[in-house]
Amino acid sequence: MDAASNDCDVASTAWNSWHHIPWFSAFQVVARLQTRIAKAAKAGEWRKVRALQRLLTKSSSAKAMAVRRVTENRGRKTPGVDKQTWDTPEDKWRAVIALGNTRYKPLPLRRIHIPKANGGKRPLGIPTMRDRAMQALHLLALDPVAETTGDHNSYGFRQERSTADAIEQVRIVLGRPSKSAQWVLEGDIKGCFDNISHDWLIANVCMDKGILRKWLKAGFIETGRFFPTKAGTPQGGIISPVLANMALDGLERELETLPMTRRERQAAKINLVRYADDFVITGSSRELLETKVKPLVERFLHARGLVLSEEKTRITHVTEGFDFLGWNVRLFKNMLITQPSKKNVKTFLHKVRNLIAERKAAHQIDVIDALAPVVRGWANYHRSQMSSQRFARCDHEIWQALWRWACRRHPEKGKRWIKTRYFKCLKGRDWRFAVMDKLLPNLCDYRKRPHTKVKGEANPYDPTNDDYFSKRLSRKMEATFEGRRKLRWLWTWQGGECPICSQKITRDTGWHLHHVVKRSQGGSNRLTNLVLLHPNCHMQHHVLEKLYGPAGVSHMR
């Protein structure tokens, strides 16, 4: 058994509340075990992997981290069928104690439906808080295996990977017109999450088989009725994306087994780029993709209980263009163009117009507050590609919608008065929708920011890649703090870490601005009096300070 995990389990007996958990030690113990799991998986020592996974899931540190994850994410206020949420420190502490101590039996999921981009409905399963925490606990042990064995060009639902990495890989494999492949198989799996074979998952996923079987067979409740599940892994579960990824991993290696000579393989130019269940496979000819690649993909999926969607799976020449992850990729005049797809633009503008229509009588500030995050998020998603023309068009469409909104509010006023009332000349540009200190951002203000693709073989659980991922995080956070110099300076000065738990502060973890000397005691807003903390660490600091005074929090690490 790992010495550090022994030390932490002994230390955990001294924990007596949620706010007394030493997060720095807990993160260290879990990270060390995860590193050992990844190393054993890379060496193919699967008996050792399973032993380390059992050790990790029994660790009090891992249980605390699992509870922390499910009580800090976006769905923390959404209850399951038991209608319970863990809102207080007392609830969280009781959850840590109870996690894994009794015979575990998951409850059915609460089924809801959310809208899809094509107008349909996507079924979503909401587990109870206890089931979410158990999934988060076992995910800590499974994720190092998934990251170690995953396909190099799989980018969905994986740490440090994103859609921007996937589209950059598409540019790499198609970006040299004279040497790159000219044909693309656009693949889409029909009901991927709903149809994955339970037998295949239980036989091939390296984790506790009994726990996995219980989750897969838990069923769901909809409109007061219970429905059993015979296939699939429910969308909404914390561990479900990783299970789906592991079911699809291996396709890249399978494509390498096509019966070809080395010279034929180089000429075939077969490359896979996958994001979750959406993927593209390049090839030198339509015949190659139709007669060899597509049948191989169908056999690969059939073993996992999956089939290709006939509606969305097609073979396309790059000059015709194809849509992938909200972008349109097309070879035009010997240049590969990647820009927001027409469908994505239409969806974005529809959302903006709806937000404006819902606020016909709202104050201008409320309209800006509603639109700004939508505009900012869409611009940041697409700014890594060739988006300037689409940005300009969307800016014009948004301006027209806002002008109609303003004219409707004042039907008896002249256009010059309306312009002066709602649109200002700011930052060297006229017609900016603004009031007081509120300004609606323009898409054209977001200049292109090239994205550096993650290395395919990089593994976040491999210590040799720590420096590489730290540099990538620094670049990412610099972009996040763009226009917020104070936060950027604090993050850089702290080395990107929370001084309490010594874990990285990222967009996913969030942050709170902490005053070393409280404002009520005369503390200022100067940089020397400010610290960035994780939200949970910030709360823990104030609770311990109230209980024990400043000396009680001086050695929290």
The predicted model gives 515-531 an average pLDDT of 78
Look at residue 11 in the predicted model and tell me its pLDDT: 46
Sorting pLDDT into bands at 50, 70 and 90, what band is 555? Answer: very low
Q: Coil, strand, or helix at residue 491? A: helix
183-188: strand order across its sheet: 271-275, 278-283, 183-188, 314-317
Look at residue 268 in the predicted model and tell me its pLDDT: 92
The predicted model gives 124-153 an average pLDDT of 94
Look at residue 4 in the predicted model and tell me its pLDDT: 44
Give the integer Cα–Cα distance in Å for 34 and 118.
39
The predicted model gives 500-521 an average pLDDT of 82
Give the integer Cα–Cα distance in Å for 23 and 57.
17
Tell me the per-residue pLDDT of 418-449, one tens digit each, with 9 for 90 and over: 999 999 988 778 899 999 888 999 999 998 98
Look at residue 14 in the predicted model and tell me its pLDDT: 63
The predicted model gives 28-57 an average pLDDT of 95
Q: Which tops the pLDDT comparison, 93 or 482?
A: 93
Look at residue 338 in the predicted model and tell me its pLDDT: 95
Measuring CA to CA, how many Å separate 199 from each of 300, 304, 305? Answer: 15, 9, 9
> What is the number of other CB atoms lying within 10 angstroms of the CB of residue 90?
11
Q: Which tops the pLDDT comparison, 555 or 429?
A: 429
* In the predicted structure, residue 548 carries a pLDDT above the cut 70: no
Sorting pLDDT into bands at 50, 70 and 90, what band is 7? Answer: very low
Look at residue 557 in the predicted model and tell me its pLDDT: 35
> What long-range pairs does 339-346 form, CB within 8 A, spacing at least 24?
339/382, 339/385, 339/386, 339/387, 339/389, 339/390, 340/382, 340/385, 340/387, 340/390, 343/117, 345/390, 345/393, 345/394
327-332: strand order across its sheet: 322-324, 327-332, 335-340
Look at residue 543 in the predicted model and tell me its pLDDT: 80
Sorting pLDDT into bands at 50, 70 and 90, what band is 507? Answer: confident
Measuring CA to CA, how many Å separate 523 from each of 432, 515, 526, 545? Answer: 37, 7, 9, 16
The predicted model gives 250-268 an average pLDDT of 91
Give the integer Cα–Cα distance in Å for 387 and 389.
6
Sorting pLDDT into bands at 50, 70 and 90, what band is 520? Answer: low
Sorting pLDDT into bands at 50, 70 and 90, what band is 311? Answer: confident
Percentage of residues of the chain with pLDDT beyond 90: 57
pLDDT mean across residues, the chain: 88
The predicted model gives 383-403 an average pLDDT of 95
Tell me the per-residue pLDDT of 153-176, one tens digit each, with 9 for 90 and over: 999 999 989 999 999 999 999 988
* In the predicted structure, residue 74 carries a pLDDT above the cut 50: yes
Q: Which tops the pLDDT comparison, 114 or 390?
A: 390
Characterize 382-421 residue by residue with b for buried, 16 or more Cβ atoms within 10 angstroms of its Cβ, and e for exposed.
bbbbbbeebbeebbeebbebbbebbeeeeeeeeeeeeeee
Sorting pLDDT into bands at 50, 70 and 90, what band is 320? Answer: very high
Q: Which residues pair with 553 in a beta bridge?
A: none
Sorting pLDDT into bands at 50, 70 and 90, what band is 223? Answer: confident
Six token digits for residue 387: 């988006």
The predicted model gives 27-39 an average pLDDT of 94
Which domains, and CATH codes, for the chain?
15-149+207-229 (no CATH), 153-196+231-338 (3.30.70.270), 341-445 (no CATH), 463-548 (no CATH)
Q: Which tops the pLDDT comparison, 458 or 478?
A: 458
* Residues whose CB falls within 8 Å of the CB of residue 276, separated by 6 or more in sequence, listed in order: 156, 157, 192, 241, 244, 245
The predicted model gives 240-244 an average pLDDT of 93
Percentage of residues of the chain with pLDDT beyond 70: 94
* In the predicted structure, residue 477 carries a pLDDT above the cut 70: yes
Six token digits for residue 80: 């399951």
* In the predicted structure, residue 357 carries a pLDDT above the cut 60: yes
